[in-house]
Amino acid sequence: MTAPRLLQNSSLSINRPTIFLIHRTAISSISRRRTFSQCHYRPQQHSERELQERLQAARPLVPHRAARKFTQAGSSRNSRLTVIATVLAAIGFYFYNSQTVPVTGRRRFNFLSDSMVARAHSKAAAQVIEQVRAQGGHFLSEWDPRTILVRRVMKRLIPVSGMTDLNWEIFVIADNRTANAFVLPGGKVFVHSGIINVCRSEDALAAVLGHEIAHNTASHAAERLSAAWVGNLTAGSLFFLAGALPGLALFGLWNVVGGYYLQDLLFYLPMGRKQESEADYIGLMMMAEACYDPRAALGFWQRMHALQHVSGEEAPEMLSTHPSVSLAHIAEKFGQTDET
C-alpha cells in the first residue's frame, strides 16, 4: 500500500500539501539507499595541460635551494678550502701529539691520556665479569694456589711497571680449556687458568703477565683509538670533498671493494704486529728487572704455537698479530745476552 492511501485511511485530518511533502521524503530515503556507483557525483575532469601546470606549481618536499646546497656540498670553492684547512689542521694536530714510546723510543701518534682511556674502559671489567658468569663460569677464590701464584707474580711486576698508582685488581677465571690472559686499561687483570698449565713455571707466567702489562705501559690502547680517529676523519674529509652524491657513491664503492678489510690489512694489522713485538721487548725487560728469567718466554711461546697448531686455531702468518718472527727475535735477544 502506498503512502497516500495510508494517510487517507487514517483518522487524522491532514491536508494535501502535507501528503506531498511526506511522499518526497519517502522518495529521498529510497535514493539514499542507492549504491555508490549510482551516485550523482562525478569527479572533476582536468585537462593534461592543467595537470602539468599544477605539478609545476606544487611545493616540493625539499626546497630546491636546500637540495642544491646538499648535492653540491664539497664542490664549491669555499667548501674545498674548508676541507683543505681541516686537513692541514689535522696534520698539525698529528705532529703536535707525536710521542715517544717508553723503553723502545718508537715515535707514534697519540692524543689520548691514560686516564681518558681508563675511563673509556671503566665498564669493560664489569662486562667481562658478567659475561663469564652468564656463560656458567666462575672465578677462583683468593686462597686457590693458582690465584696465589698470579698474585705473587704481579706483586713483583707492578713495582717495575711504572704504574704503581693504579688500582690493580686480579681475577683468575676457572677455565682450563682457554689459554689466555689480558690486562685492561686501569689495572684490571684477567687470567684464564688454562694458560697457567701452559706456562709450567712462575718465570713463564711472569713473561705472559709482563707482556700484557707492557701493552698498558706503552699505551697501545690509546694509540689504536687515536689511529682510528685519524682514519675516520681522513675518510670523512675525502667523501665530503667529493660532494654529497659522489661521496655516497665513493662510500658505496669503498664498501663493495672491502675498504675496511683493506684498511685493517694494510694499516691496523701492521700496527698490531708492531705493538706485539714492542710488548714482547718491554715485557722481557720488565720481568728481568723483577728478577725473573727471560729465557722462560721462549719456551712458553714455543708451547703456545704448538698448542695452536694441534688445535687447528693457528692463524695464517700474514694475518697473525703475533707472528712466529717474535720467537726468532726473542732468541736473537737471548743470543746477544749470552754473548755479553
Residue 142 CA, chain-centre distance (Å), reads 35
Catalytic residue among 50, 53, 212, 223: 212
**Which segments of 66-180 are extended strands (E)?**
98-100, 107-109, 169-173
β-strand 169-173 against 188-192: which pairing, if any?
A: parallel
212 in catalytic set: yes
- Residue 289 makes CB contacts below 8 A (sequence gap 6+) with 160
Task: List residues bridging with 183 in a β-sheet.
Answer: 189
DSSP 36: G
CA distances from residue 129 to 5, 87, 181, 195 in whole angstroms, order as listed: 94, 42, 14, 18
* Distance of alpha carbon 276 from alpha carbon 185, whole angstroms: 16
* Distance of alpha carbon 190 from alpha carbon 204, whole angstroms: 16
Handedness of CA 106, 167, 225, 275 (dihedral sign): positive
DSSP 318: G
Coil, strand or helix at 189: strand
What is the grid cell recorded at 138? 666462575
What is the grid cell recorded at 273? 704486529
Contact between 280 and 326 (Cβ < 8 Å) = yes
Cite the active site residues. Answer: 212
